[in-house]
Structure 1
Amino acid sequence: MWGSSTFNTRIERLWVEVGTQFARAWRAFFYRLERRHLLNRMDKNHLWLLHFLFLDAINSDCEAFQNTWNSHPISGAGHDQSPDDMFFLGQLEHGIYADDCDGWSLQEIETYYGREQEECMRQDMESGSSENGEESDSGWSSDGEAGGDVLESDSGSDTSRRAHLQQRFEARAAAAAHSEGANIRHAPIPVPEAANPFSNRTQFTTFEEALRQAREGHIVPQGYGLFDDEWEEFGGQYKPYEYIPTRHRGRDLRIVLPHDIWFNRAELWAQGLYLMNRATTLV
């Protein structure tokens, strides 16, 4: 979709739903890890550990949201049908589209179907010959004289014409890319770099096995903000909510983090961080 999302209420609603259903909770959880459980967001190893421990769970939440969202009816042009309804009704009415290029690489598709440039050049050559009036179908030039000399030089003129048309085609493509580039190729957003802290596969496998044993044995390390005596500065209790900053009048937004879900994930983070630090320190 092109243009500012502030003029598209469907996009705005989608982002609100993403935030309220799962994204804000994850954001609040990461703030909690940073405030209470020793997460350093500037540490590449810590970012790698976040990916390793929680990326599958985040993707699972995204997929669950997608399934729920596709079941919502769309008013107006959607005639109160959900995306799932439209998809299956479209298959019933029009059949299932068979993609002949399914599983092909872009190079293979361009090789066997990429005739757009050749066709464009052929049409330009046909239109160019008639517009210039250099010769007619009977081989006579526009001034009425026999076109024998013209026919003799056909091969050379065709080569130069093809080169000229090739330049025109490339110029058109470059102009189109330049004019539309701002719409389809936005400046990339800088992404924090994550780095695997383990130097070899054996070290990583040892870390995985130690983490599995810690999870099964409910072994929680001290000093990572998970015990009662470590909550004094937070009011002496592990609160089931966290605050995230917003741009709305500088107010913080209170996000509920159910204890049975997010405390368990905080334990997982502490166990992973403790074992990662030990494994990399002992090397």
Structure 2
Amino acid sequence: SSTRNTHIERLWLKVSTQFARAWCTFFSRLEELHGLDQTNPHHMWLLHFLFLDLINYDCKEFQKYWNAHPISHENRSPQDIFFLGQLEHGIYEDCKGVHPNLEELDEEYEPWHGIGGIALEADNEEWHGIAGDGEEVHQPDQLEAGPDEDFPDYAALVNSIGKEDNREFNQELIKVPKHADPFEDEALCDIFQRSLACLQATGDIPLGYGAHPTEWDDDTGYPSFGIIQTGLSGRKELRIALPDSIWRPRSIQWVQALYLMDQLIDRQIN
């Protein structure tokens, strides 16, 4: 990354204008026209399933472009500056001052790592979906484990790592939308994927999801742009182009997948 060689605000502006705004506008379109419900964890799962690889690809392409573009006052790219800096000053340690990987700690702490610690009695914990307020609903059995006071060495380890790394991280929590696999088992998920491949091969577009040509406005057709709100108050509107050749096929892909997921969930419940 070249964030050490330019103002971070400018970098994020470039990320936004190069590809992030288009994805934001596209997701807004899915909400407005094609049935996306951002409070539904199954819909969030479906977005990941369909588009996460494409978003990561766009990120990688932007990274390659950004690190190769010349900086005006230096006449060198961030990549040039990075390697020349290594030649002049040595290799920068990204994790300098951060606590080492837990796997490298003394063996006395190994019982607290991963799944190799003290066994907890937690049989048959069941996931019961999402409550009306969007929270996951679990009904676990009692866990037979004492508080941290019962394990002073472990508590001391946690506190030690926290104090050492506190200066390296922003501790403010970010609320992440919930996403949950809608299918009960891998077999049903496999049916979904094979059915989606067949539906995409035939090119059929389900009715009722706003993507079929008969559902478009007769005068304007399928929209080739979208509007998003920006600014601190959210009052500024930006008109973002969504080229039909790129974004309409993705809308159709979403509609096809959502239709199949809805059908399989209904059968799963009934």
User: What is the TM-score of this pair, normalised by structure 1?
Assistant: 0.65
Give the aligned partner of residue 246 of structure 1: 230
Q: Pick from 53, 74, 81: which aligns with 2:76? A: 81
1:212 aligns to 2:201 (yes or no): no
Tell me the secondary structure at the aligned position of residue 190 of structure 1.
coil
Higher helix share: 1
Q: Pick from 92, 99, 104: which aligns with 1:109? A: 104
With over 3 angstroms needed to count, the CA separation of the structure-2 counterparts of 1:281 and 1:73, relative to structure 1, is same
Tell me the secondary structure at the aligned position of residue 173 of structure 2.
coil
Tell me the secondary structure at the aligned position of residue 226 of structure 2.
strand
CA apart distance, 1:106: 1.7
Tell me the secondary structure at the aligned position of residue 14 of structure 2.
helix
Structure 2: runs of 5+ lacking an equivalent? 93-99, 108-155
Q: How does 1:101-140 map to 2 (within 5 A)?
A: 106-111=101-106
Bigger Rg, structure 1 or 2:
1
| Range with greater deviation from structure 2 (263-272 or 215-224) | 215-224
State the alpha-carbon separation in 1 of the partners of residues 164 and 181 from structure 2: 41
Query: Which residue identity does 1:50 align to in structure 2?
Result: L
CA apart distance, 1:186: 2.3
Partners of 2:30 and 2:251 within 8 A in 1: yes
Partners of 2:206 and 2:212 within 8 A in 1: no
Tell me the secondary structure at the aligned position of residue 184 of structure 2.
coil
Tell me the secondary structure at the aligned position of residue 251 of structure 2.
helix
CA displacement 1:64-108 (0-9 Å, x = unmatched): 0000010122355xx3221222344456678889xxxxxxx8234
State the alpha-carbon separation in 2 of the partners of residues 224 and 56 from structure 1: 24
Tell me the secondary structure at the aligned position of residue 46 of structure 2.
helix
1:72 aligns to 2:69 (yes or no): yes
Higher strand share: 2
Count how many residue pairs are aligned between Structure 1 and Structure 2.
Answer: 209
State the alpha-carbon separation in 2 of the partners of residues 209 and 176 from structure 1: 46
Q: How does 1:142-181 map to 2 (within 5 A)?
A: 181=166
Tell me the secondary structure at the aligned position of residue 7 of structure 2.
helix
State the alpha-carbon separation in 2 of the partners of residues 92 and 52 from structure 1: 42
State the alpha-carbon separation in 2 of the partners of residues 181 and 47 from structure 1: 32
1:201 aligns to 2:186 (yes or no): yes
User: What is the TM-score of this pair, normalised by structure 2?
Assistant: 0.68
Q: How does 1:37-48 map to 2 (within 5 A)?
A: 37-48=34-45
Partners of 2:42 and 2:179 within 8 A in 1: yes
1:11 aligns to 2:8 (yes or no): yes
State the alpha-carbon separation in 1 of the partners of residues 45 and 81 from structure 2: 40
State the alpha-carbon separation in 1 of the partners of residues 237 and 219 from structure 2: 19
With over 3 angstroms needed to count, the CA separation of the structure-2 counterparts of 1:109 and 1:80, relative to structure 1, is farther
State the alpha-carbon separation in 2 of the partners of residues 39 and 279 from structure 1: 17
CA displacement 1:170-196 (0-9 Å, x = unmatched): x9xx79966984772321100010010
